[in-house]
Amino acid sequence: MPQKTTQIDSKYALQRRRWIILDAKGQVLGRLATKAAVLLRGKHKSFFTPSVDCGDFVVVTNAGKVVVTGQKETQKTYFRHSGYARGARVIPYRLQMERDPRKVVYLAVKRMLPPNHLRQHQMRRLKIYAGDTHPHAAQKVEALSVR
């Protein structure tokens, strides 16, 4: 019996990459990150293969205007560790948004992608900007709503 599933070539996926822009103004962080993760992986495409990097480029603008629901604005924290003794740092969500709102969106999207070797390549295609301007107008960026 012949095999019915087909594996796509990575060159085929590379030729069909698009540039998509997501406006984060007033959007819920988790829903925005989910949409960006799906686009980066390429799960919305008919030729999706988990072992092939077939996702699109994603440009997120207005990262500083993203919102969170419930009590997350006061309760959510970001943890990092330097590797040295007593090197733990815990930063509240509000302070992280004041310092660098791009990192909040970056970490939300990164944690929604599977932790494998493709994640690093997929995250390179994520472009995040705190304001509403971006330098990717020459790539024919398509606007897409999160809702």
Sheet containing strand 142-143, strands side by side: 126-128, 57-61, 19-23, 142-143
Query: For residue 115, what are the CA distances in angstroms to 14, 34, 102, 128, 145?
Result: 22, 15, 21, 20, 27
Check if CATH label 3.90.1180.10 holds for domain 16-68+100-143: yes
Model confidence at 26: pLDDT above 90? yes
Model-level pTM greater than 0.85? yes
Q: What residues does each domain of the chain span?
A: 16-68+100-143
Is residue 35 within 8 Å of 146, Cβ to Cβ?
yes
Task: Write down the pLDDT at residue 134.
Answer: 93
List, for residues 51-83, the tens digit of each pLDDT value.
Answer: 999 999 999 999 999 999 999 999 999 999 999
List, for residues 110-141, the tens digit of each pLDDT value.
Answer: 999 999 999 999 999 999 999 999 999 898 88
Cα distance between residue 61 and residue 131, in whole Å: 6
The CA-to-CA distance between both ends of the chain, in Å, stands at 43
Q: In the structure, what pLDDT confidence band is assigned to residue 1 with cuts at 50, 70 and 90?
A: low
Cα distance between residue 146 and residue 36, in whole Å: 9
Query: For residue 146, what are the CA distances in angstroms to 20, 23, 26, 27, 137?
Result: 11, 8, 11, 8, 20
DSSP 54: -
- The C-alpha R_g of the chain, in whole angstroms, comes to 17
Cα distance between residue 7 and residue 105, in whole Å: 32
